[in-house]
């Protein structure tokens, strides 16, 4: 790839919300090497991207994704015997190949729509690790992946058996956690509570499934190896256990009391002394704004979903009020959460949190990079940063809708082809019904 210059582009400084026209120079290795207001006369050796009238932002980081699904309702079998058959088929060479190719397509869609880095938090058969390595080697085009491999859950717990491994004791958790690390996981994902999609009783979505001692032992072991831990937790008790165990990020969250608020901010057992909250509104908000008929779910799932949404919302608002670190991720692959709609999660956070566009754009870029611990190379536009950039026709400080139609995505200095792009019309229609209602 030749060295590139993006000229005359309106550079947005997300720290100060100021805009200046600049020329961005990108090295052959895809790193930003100079930001200047002066353009040299001789640009012969540069590939030139015209930035005039366009705005430039750092690429977005999606902190909570799954790549196995499309956003259509999941159709995996629930009867144990059929689950066994399905899992067996998936675990063949052909099964894994099909799964990987679907994940690859979904990751590429995320990239085409502005997500240049994403964290997976629960995939089957370690295929997220395979895909991460393919992308890193340059064999496949996609966002930079930070991966967890399969989740670690209790017996019959959240996400089992397809995207989570079952555990019945502390030693199980330690052994399976170590296996994830040895196979190359960047994070460990645990499930402290049940989830909406697989709950079998009203209120079960937030029921505690993992013991404090189990989570604590696993955090300790992972942290000793420099690996951080993310925890699915959808009830007050679940979040409390996760925080006490020392997890580094709480996924979804719930209403908190004072003890929990303090633990988020000062968590001695976490790796960096604090824990972050990733609320994930995209799969939850339809329960509050669409009918059971629209969603096509059972009464049980509908009622569980509504309760979880209220808890996530309360936890998020408390976190903002108490200056807890909050990241943004949309739980892509869950029902109604496609791989091309990450901008919606920013809009939800902005509206539900009473935040400015500047606030949420910072959270989805430099803030998320800090939570991942990759802020030295990712999340801002500065010399030495990877050239993961978005060119926009509208000013995103004025409207987040600017992210809906990104003019050009640049990954490591290379423009991303936007032509092949599959939309799910039924889902788009339902989501448009909610627009402006949140
Ligand atoms: Zn998830």
Strand runs labelled E in 257-320 = 276-278
**pLDDT (tens digit, 9 = 90+) per residue, 110-136?**
999 999 999 999 999 999 999 999 999
Q: What's the mean per-residue pLDDT of the chain?
A: 94
Compute the distance from residue 251 Cα to the ligand 1 centre, in Å.
7
111-138 burial code (b ≥16 CB/10 A, e <16): bbbbbbbbbbbbbbbbbbbbbbebbeee
Compute the distance from residue 60 Cα to the ligand 1 centre, in Å.
18
Mean pLDDT of 5-30: 97
Compute the distance from residue 26 Cα to the ligand 1 centre, in Å.
35
How far apart are the C-alpha atoms of 237 and 172, rounded to whole Å? Answer: 23
Give the phi and the psi of residue 82 in degrees, each rounded to 5. Answer: -65, -35
Q: Where are the domains of the chain?
A: 4-58+379-415, 60-372
Compute the distance from residue 5 Cα to the ligand 1 centre, in Å.
38
pLDDT band at 296 (very low <50, low <70, confident <90, very high): confident
> What sign does the dihedral 75-76-81-85 (CA atoms) show?
positive
Contact present, 87 and 76 (Cβ < 8 Å)? no
Q: Which residues surround ligand 1, an ion (CB under 5 A)?
A: 331
Compute the distance from residue 293 Cα to the ligand 1 centre, in Å.
24
Report CA-CA distances (Å) from 376 to 54, 59, 366, 373, 380: 26, 14, 10, 8, 9
Compute the distance from residue 64 Cα to the ligand 1 centre, in Å.
6
Compute the distance from residue 112 Cα to the ligand 1 centre, in Å.
21
Compute the distance from residue 145 Cα to the ligand 1 centre, in Å.
15
| The pLDDT of residue 316 | 98
Is residue 94 pLDDT above 80, yes or no?
yes
pLDDT band at 433 (very low <50, low <70, confident <90, very high): confident
What is the residue whose two structure tokens read 């010399």? 383
Compute the distance from residue 159 Cα to the ligand 1 centre, in Å.
9
How far apart are the C-alpha atoms of 75 and 66, rounded to whole Å? Answer: 15
Compute the distance from residue 331 Cα to the ligand 1 centre, in Å.
5
| The pLDDT of residue 84 | 81
Class at the top of the CATH hierarchy for domain 4-58+379-415: mainly beta
Report CA-CA distances (Å) from 270 to 70, 244, 266, 273, 275: 33, 9, 9, 5, 7
How far apart are the C-alpha atoms of 388 and 299, rounded to whole Å? Answer: 43
Beta bridge partners, 117, equal 61, 144
CATH, range 60-372: 3.20.20.140
Compute the distance from residue 426 Cα to the ligand 1 centre, in Å.
22
Cα 12 to the chain's mean position, in Å? 23
Is residue 15 pLDDT above 90, yes or no?
yes
Q: Which residues contact 92 (CB under 8 A, 6 or more apart)?
A: none
What is the residue whose two structure tokens read 């969603």? 295
| The pLDDT of residue 438 | 62
Contact present, 154 and 191 (Cβ < 8 Å)? yes
| The pLDDT of residue 392 | 98
Compute the distance from residue 123 Cα to the ligand 1 centre, in Å.
10
Compute the distance from residue 120 Cα to the ligand 1 centre, in Å.
8
**pLDDT (tens digit, 9 = 90+) per residue, 154-164?**
999 998 888 99
Compute the distance from residue 429 Cα to the ligand 1 centre, in Å.
23
Listed in sequence order, the DSSP H helices in 91-202 are: 93-112, 127-137, 170-183
Compute the distance from residue 228 Cα to the ligand 1 centre, in Å.
16
How far apart are the C-alpha atoms of 102 and 98, rounded to whole Å? Answer: 6
Compute the distance from residue 312 Cα to the ligand 1 centre, in Å.
13
Compute the distance from residue 143 Cα to the ligand 1 centre, in Å.
18
How far apart are the C-alpha atoms of 438 and 432, rounded to whole Å? Answer: 12
Compute the distance from residue 24 Cα to the ligand 1 centre, in Å.
36
How far apart are the C-alpha atoms of 235 and 315, rounded to whole Å? Answer: 10
């Amino acid at each position: 790839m030749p060295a590139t210059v993006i000229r005359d582009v309106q550079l947005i400084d997300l720290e100060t919300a100021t805009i200046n026209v600049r020329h961005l120079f990108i090295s052959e290795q895809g790193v930003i090497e100079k930001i200047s207001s002066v353009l040299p006369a001789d640009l012969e050796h540069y590939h030139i991207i015209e930035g005039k009238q366009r705005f430039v932002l750092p690429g977005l980081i999606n902190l909570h994704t799954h790549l196995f699904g499309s956003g259509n309702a999941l159709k995996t079998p629930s009867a144990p015997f059929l689950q066994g058959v399905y899992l067996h088929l998936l675990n063949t060479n052909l099964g894994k190949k099909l799964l990987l190719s679907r994940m690859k397509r979904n990751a590429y869609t995320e990239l085409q729509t502005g997500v240049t880095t994403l964290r997976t938090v629960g995939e089957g058969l370690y295929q997220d690790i395979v895909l991460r390595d393919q992308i890193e080697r340059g064999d496949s085009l996609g966002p930079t992946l930070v991966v967890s491999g399969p989740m670690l859950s209790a017996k019959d717990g959240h996400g089992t058996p397809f995207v989570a491994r079952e555990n019945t004791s502390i030693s199980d958790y330690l052994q399976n956690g170590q296996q994830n690390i040895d196979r190359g996981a960047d994070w460990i994902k645990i499930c402290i509570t049940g989830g909406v999609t697989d709950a079998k009783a009203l209120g079960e979505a937030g029921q505690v499934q993992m013991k404090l001692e189990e989570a604590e032992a696993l955090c300790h072991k992972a942290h000793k190896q420099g690996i951080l831990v993310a925890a699915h937790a959808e009830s007050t008790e679940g979040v409390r256990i996760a925080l006490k165990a020392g997890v580094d990020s709480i996924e979804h969250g719930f209403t908190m009391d004072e003890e929990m608020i303090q633990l988020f901010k000062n968590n001695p057992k976490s790796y960096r002394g604090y824990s972050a909250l990733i609320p994930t509104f995209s799969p939850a908000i339809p329960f509050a704004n669409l009918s059971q008929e629209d969603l096509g779910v059972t009464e049980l799932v509908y009622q569980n979903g509504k309760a979880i949404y209220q808890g996530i919302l309360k936890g998020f608002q408390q976190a903002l009020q108490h200056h807890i670190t909050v990241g943004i991720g949309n739980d892509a692959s869950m029902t109604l959460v496609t791989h091309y709609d990450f901008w919606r999660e920013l809009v939800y956070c902005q509206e539900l949190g009473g935040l400015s566009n500047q606030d949420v754009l910072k959270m989805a870029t430099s803030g998320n990079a800090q939570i991942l611990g990759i802020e030295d190379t990712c999340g801002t536009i500065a010399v030495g940063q990877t050239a993961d950039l978005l060119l926009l026709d509208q000013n995103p400080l004025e409207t987040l809708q600017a992210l809906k139609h990104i003019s050009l995505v640049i990954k490591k200095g290379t423009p991303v082809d936007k032509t092949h792009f599959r939309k799910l019309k039924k889902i788009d229609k339902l989501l448009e019904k909610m627009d402006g209602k949140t």
